[in-house]
A and B are shown apart, each in its own frame.
Chain A
């Protein structure tokens, strides 16, 4: 049988993209339909609930921007899952990497008191990125050198990160009763869209006054998240390193015979995945909360798995997955006001995971059929 090289065939790529998008859209639809059942339990009308959900997420300019704001950490944790997944690794550790990144950025944000913003902000972000990368890299190293399953090690590292950053770190550093590290310096703040009109630098741009609404919480990390996604897309599909990652994911033994160092791939994909999760944490600290706060992770690491999956572990797909889940989170608040518990959103997100994961079987069937046709 002539095997079609799954990495290069254009037509196959297009077909598989179509299947991927189809599976994702179908899963979301079915999950929303199942959600109706849960809404009925609350004795509210599903139409009202979903209307509120939609209005909360997209109803006006402010809500749309806040949907983008809520998508930001999810896009990044989604990417943190997606990239290692392409190389056959399951990174359950975005939660811990996010916390390490957020904490380190928070400390760097308040510790340096007399740096100019042009140095301080990049330094604080970099501190978060490096911390996240190292935390994930540890799991990668354990897998490559000590054969420790990355699922178990990342789960354990999540809990260790909680103990280190929230339980110990915050308790040690906090200056008030608030469960948070001290507030970061002005020079380490990520630009918020609502403050652009007042900033000497950004106010030169046209139209920035449209953002001057105190209810808008979007900040620059959204832009950084989009850039990160594009960089990862380029890395994965346009460089030889990315080719190696994907080859290891598709067939680890084959890749090894082909001269690809699987251990290097394991460590690098984890490092990069952790770096993006760390950026997510740094962004929440420097842009949203202005300090590292207990509970600010809010399950982003785990929801990121769903985001990565719904995006079919494609970096651009993660943007769409993040936007979808961000919209659900943002709209969930409005739904709560309409009398429907916002936890419906978590239930729908979990259902999306079940359906996306289950429907992968369609791909298995299609592959089997192709192989049969190939034989005949």
Chain B
């Protein structure tokens, strides 16, 4: 009974927002990329690099907002690798994404040594402002993520540009015959996903704390990917999924169960994703042309 009350307690639900923030931001990023037809499993690496860039920016300028800018630029740089190699060189998007993740974990630890002369945790840097609600810290990026959900929804479903990107992801050849420059829009969409995943990283390092720790993304990029799939590539539904996963993380941190080992609660988002994909609840189908490079004239 106590456990049950704890599960619906206000601090727990509020802290789900905190845990969900990076998932929401990165899932929205994933939607941008995948709606245009580029699978982005590099969210994890981009987020990690964004987290580092944010700390670097904040440390160098003393201004955490510059950290946010650095994180977005860093995210774009990493996303640009994915864009160039997968769109221009038509390389396998999954393989490149994996490469970016390895690259990110190597280069962040490398740069940590170059800039801060440490291998594990960076020195403390100025962090973004936050507000306490019932004792739970709400970083400014949490609000940003909540605002971005309807904005991204509006963009994809109520604007011409959003329609274009969606059409490219479903049927690039048809979009091409309508005069849409498929590869340019894909490029922009992937870069946009870099901005959002970079922001997610900034939340981890200077939104939710004030330092960079090696490997601090800790699989959140993949949970964000799971949230995107669970949310069927729809911004609002993905937000719901991210909240659910954020809640699962909050529960794993805060609640002791007698019957489920807490170590296994953290695996719930992953199990749920497989179950959803297997169609046990309802089938989740992504953009039709996702994962394929587009070549003019190919059928």
CB contacts (< 8 Å) of B89 on chain A: these are 357-361
User: Of B95, B106, B114, which contacts A309 at CB under 8 A?
Assistant: B95
Contact with A along B81-117 (1 / 0, CB 8 A): 1000100011110111011111101110110011000
Decide yes or no: A346 and B222 within 8 Å by CB, A353-B95, A357-B91, A361-B90 being known contacts. no
- Chain B residues numbered 189-242 whose CB sits less than 8 Å from any CB in chain A: 219, 222-223, 225-226, 229
CB-defined contacts of B90 to chain A, threshold 8 Å: 360-361, 364
Residues of B close to A199: CB separation below 8 A? none
Considering the chains assembled together, what is the distance between the CA atoms of A347 and B49 in angstroms?
13
- Report Cα–Cα, A309/B96, bound state, in Å: 11
Q: Are A160 and B261 in contact (CB under 8 A)?
A: no
- Nearest B residue to A142 via CB reads B278
Would you call A152 an interface residue if the criterion is a C-beta within 8 Å of the partner chain's C-beta atoms?
yes
Which B residue sits closest to A159, measured CB to CB?
A: B270
Of A146, A167, A353, the contact of B264 (CB 8 Å cutoff): A167
Question: Interface segment, A120-128, A238-246, A300-308?
Answer: A300-308
Partner of A350, one of B106, B219, B225, B263: B106
Q: Report whether A305 and B95 are in contact in the complex, using a CB–CB cutoff of 8 Å.
A: yes
Which A residues are in CB contact (< 8 Å) with B222?
Answer: 155-156, 159
B106: which of A42, A157, A347 is its contact (CB, 8 Å)? A347
Residues of chain B with a CB closer than 8 A to A152's CB: 225-226, 229, 273-274, 277
In the assembled complex, the Cα of A47 lies from the Cα of B7 at a distance in Å of: 59
Min CB distance, A100 to chain B, in Å? 13
B267 at the interface (CB under 8 A from A): yes
- The answer to whether A151 touches B94 (Cβ under 8 A) is yes
Q: How far is the CA of A360 from the CA of B96 in the complex (A)?
A: 12
Q: Indicate if B271 sits at the interface (CB-CB under 8 A).
A: yes
Closest chain-A Cβ to B16's Cβ sits at a distance in Å of 19
Contact between chains at A306 and B102 (CB < 8 Å):
yes
For residue B279, CB closer than 8 A to chain A, the reply is yes
Nearest-neighbor residue (CB-CB) of B85 within chain A: A358
Q: Which of B98, B101, B114, B273 has the most CB of A within 10 A?
A: B98
Asked whether A343 lies within 8 Å of B110 as measured between CB atoms, the reply is: yes
Instruction: Please tell me if A149 contacts chain B, counting CB pairs below 8 Å.
Output: yes
Closest CB in chain A relative to B159 CB, distance in Å: 29
Q: Does B266 contact A (CB under 8 A)?
A: yes
Knowing A153-B274, A361-B91, the reply to whether A344 touches B264 (Cβ < 8 A) is: no
Which residues 123-175 of A have a CB within 8 angstroms of B? 142, 146-149, 151-153, 155-157, 159-160, 162-164, 167-168, 171-172
Evaluate contact between B81 and A354: CB separation under 8 angstroms. Answer: yes
Task: Indicate whether A349 sits within 8 Å of B102 (C-beta atoms), given known contacts A41-B114, A155-B222, A357-B85.
Answer: yes
Report yes or no: A357 in contact with B226, Cβ–Cβ below 8 A: no
Identify the interface centre among B91, B114, B219: most chain A CB within 10 Å of its CB. B91
Inter-chain contact A160/B102, CB cutoff 8 Å: no
Instruction: Assess whether B103 is in contact with A351, with CB atoms less than 8 Å apart.
Output: yes
Residue of A164, A305, A358 touching B98 (CB-CB under 8 A): A305
Given known pairs A303-B102, A346-B105, A347-B107, the reply for A160 and B270 (CB within 8 Å) is yes
List, in ascending order, chain B residues with CB within 8 A of A6's CB: none
Tell me if B41 counts as interface (CB < 8 A to partner A): yes
Q: Which of B243-262 contact A (CB under 8 A)?
A: 261
Please give the distance in Å from A1's CB to the nearest CB on chain B.
16
Given A160-B270, A302-B102: A354 and B277 within 8 A (CB)?
no
Q: Are A167 and B94 CB-contacts (below 8 A) given A160-B271, A347-B107, A361-B89?
A: no
Cβ–Cβ < 8 Å partners of B109 in chain A: 341, 343, 346
A357 touches B95 (CB 8 A): yes
Q: How distant is A147 from chain B, measured CB to nearest CB, in Å?
A: 8
Q: B96 — nearest CB in chain A belongs to which residue?
A: A357
Contact B279 A146 (CB under 8 A): yes
Shortest Cβ distance from A103 into chain B, in angstroms? Answer: 14
Partner of A148, one of B101, B264, B271, B278: B278
* A90 close to chain B: CB less than 8 A: yes
- CB-CB under 8 A from B271, the residues of chain A are 156, 160
Chain B residues whose CB sits within 8 angstroms of the CB of A153 once the complex forms: 274, 277
Interface assignment of A92: CB less than 8 Å from any CB of chain B: yes
Query: Are B277 and A353 neighbours in the complex by a CB distance under 8 Å?
Result: no
Confirm or deny: A374 has a beta carbon within 8 angstroms of a beta carbon on chain B.
Answer: no
Q: CB-CB < 8 A to A354: which residues of B?
A: 81, 85, 91, 96, 99, 103
**Docked-complex contact A167 and B98, CB < 8 angstroms:** no
Q: Which residues of B contact A351 (CB under 8 A)?
A: 103
Q: Given A156-B226, A357-B85, are A347 and B267 neighbors across the interface (CB < 8 Å)?
A: no
Instruction: Assess the B263–A171 pair: CB atoms within 8 A.
Output: yes
A353 and B96 contact, Cβ closer than 8 Å, known pairs A159-B219, A343-B106, A346-B102: yes
Q: How far is the CB of B260 from chain A (nearest CB, A)?
A: 10
**Which chain B residues border A148 with CB–CB below 8 Å?**
274, 277-278
Chain A residues with Cβ below 8 Å from B100 are 350
B155-203 residues at the A interface, CB under 8 angstroms? none
Provide 27 A-B residue pairs closer than 8 Å at the C-beta atoms, listed in order of the A residue.
A38-B110, A42-B114, A92-B98, A142-B277, A152-B225, A152-B229, A153-B277, A159-B222, A159-B267, A160-B267, A160-B270, A162-B219, A164-B267, A167-B264, A168-B264, A302-B98, A341-B113, A341-B114, A343-B106, A345-B106, A346-B106, A347-B103, A349-B106, A354-B85, A357-B96, A357-B99, A360-B89
Chain B interface residues (CB < 8 Å from chain A): 39, 41, 81, 85, 89-92, 94-96, 98-103, 105-107, 109-110, 113-114, 219, 222-223, 225-226, 229, 261, 263-264, 266-267, 270-271, 273-274, 277-279
- Which 5 pairs show the lowest CB-CB distances between chains A and B? A346-B106, A353-B99, A350-B103, A163-B267, A167-B263
A residues lining the B interface (CB < 8 Å): 38, 41-42, 90, 92, 142, 146-149, 151-153, 155-157, 159-160, 162-164, 167-168, 171-172, 299, 302-303, 305-306, 309, 341, 343-347, 349-351, 353-354, 357-361, 364
